[in-house]
Structures are given as C-alpha cells and as structure tokens.
Chains A and B, each alone.
Chain A
Amino acid sequence: MITTLEWGERELEGLRYEGYAYLKEGRWGDAITLFKALVALAAESAEDWQALTALYLQKGEYALCLEASERALALSPQDEMTRLNRAKALLITGERAAGLALATDLLTAQSELILRSAEALLLGYSFS
C-alpha cells in the first residue's frame, strides 16, 4: 500500500505527528484512527503498536490493547511501558497470574515510574 501511495518515512512521520497531536488533545478515538493507519502502512513499526497499546488501554478496550501489545512486544520485547500496559490489561481482564508475573518482571525496570507502577499493581492485585 505504501508503494501505491509512493510514500516514505517523511509521510509516515507526518501521520504520526498528527496522531500524537490528537493524543495530546485527549482525542483518543482520532489518535487511534491515525495509528491504525500507520500500522496498516508499516506493520513493523514498534512505536506505533506501542502507541496503540497505550491508547486502547486508556479507552478501556482491553482485548484490543492485549492484541496491540503482542505486536509491539514482538517487535520490541524490552519496552517497559508496553509491558506495564499489558500487565494492567491482563489484570483488569482477570488474567491474574500472567498479569502478576509480568508486573513482577518489571520490578527490575530502568524507569522509576514503571518500577513504582509495577509495585502498585502488585500491591493492588496480590490481595484480591
């Protein structure tokens, strides 16, 4: 499809820019539309799958969040934010063991924010 359009990275970056602009405005649905187009045009872009994962989680569309996170992690397995988002979606949808395991892995996260969020998830879901 990208060949049909004779598009390159410049055009994709333009779409991505608009996607993030909608995201900053809190227009999740419009942002999702842009990122869905991006992954249709360039399925190997981890960044776009990561954005979709976060946006679906934000919208409460957990099944889609889990699907997007699988694609994102296949391309970039160590991305901590996507792993955290996936852990949240798993826990919310009742996949307790898998969610807690993923959150436990994140206790070695480089990012302080991720680390603290993982600790909070573990605290919140360990007793439920």
Chain B
Amino acid sequence: MDRISWVDASERWAQMQTLSDEQQRLVGPQFQQISKHAAVLNNRPQIPMMTQLMRLDGTHGTDLLTQLPGFQRTQQRGGYSAQEGAKLKGALSLLEGVVGSEHVVEALGLLIRKAEMREAVMVQMASLVAA
C-alpha cells in the first residue's frame, strides 16, 4: 500500500462514514489497513477509527458462541471477490435440479449477493479515493 498521510487517512475515514454498516464491513480490511498505516506513519491518536473498527469487527458473540471452534480462528473477511463470486455462480448452475441441494443453493445465493455488493462498494471506494 502507498504511504498515506494522517490527513488523507482521516479524509478517507470520513468518506467511509457515508457508507452503510453493511457496505463498511465489506471494505473493512482495506479500511483497517488505511488506519493502521496512518497511525504508524504519523504516530497520531486514532481512537475514533479504532472504535469504529471494533464495532465493525462485531462484538455480538456470547459465551454460547465464542467457544465454538471456528470463532477465534475466523478473522474479518471482506467477502468474496468478484472472481470468487463468478465461481460461486458456476457452482450454483451445477446444482440445478440436484435433489437435496436447497440449503446449499440458499447459501450460495447469499454469498453471491455479498460478492456483488462488495464489488459495487469497491468501485465506489475507488472513485472516492481517486477524487
């Protein structure tokens, strides 16, 4: 990632606030990188950003759920890329007419929608950064 000044990072962070929670989650990893770089390079406080990041990381786990094997090993992921989304669509077409595939079809549909939304947000972010 290119070097980024605190001012630039703050500006991008402010631009991020124009996105919905759902959209922000999808670009979370990029957002996190921006704020980390800004903090390291500029040695400036980043409390509002970190608070925001913690919120986006999700703090909804209860005891029932935080003990699950995958809870700790799963980091925030920005969702499937457009390329991965296309692969999922391919998988979906293979399941057409396959008996008992309803749950898988539903899950793939969810992930494909997420990939498409992520792609749209990435385009939006790219234009914000370029502006």
Question: How many chain A residues have a CB neighbour from B under 8 Å?
Answer: 36
Question: Which residues of B46-61 have CB atoms within 8 Å of chain A's CB atoms?
Answer: 57-58, 60-61
Contact: B60 with A5, CB < 8 Å? no
Contacts of B70 in A (CB 8 A): 16-17, 19-20, 47, 51
Say yes or no for A125: interface residue by CB 8 A criterion. no
Say which residue of A1, A30, A51, A111 sits within 8 Å of B68 (CB atoms): A51
Question: How many chain B residues have a CB neighbour from A under 8 Å?
Answer: 34
Contacts of A58 in B (CB 8 A): 62, 64-65
Interchain CA distance A115-B6 in the complex, whole Å: 48
Contacts of B62 in A (CB 8 A): 58
Question: Which residues of A47-100 have CB atoms within 8 Å of chain B's CB atoms?
Answer: 47, 50-51, 54-55, 57-58, 81, 85
A24 and B63 in contact (CB under 8 A), knowing A1-B100, A5-B94, A15-B107?
A: no
Q: Which of B62, B68, B106 has the most CB of A within 10 A?
A: B68
Binding site for A on B (CB under 8 A): 25, 57-58, 60-65, 67-71, 73-74, 76-77, 79-80, 91, 94-95, 98, 100-101, 103-104, 106-108, 110-111, 114
Binding site for B on A (CB under 8 A): 1, 4-5, 7, 15-21, 23-26, 30, 33-34, 36-41, 47, 50-51, 54-55, 57-58, 81, 85, 111, 113, 117
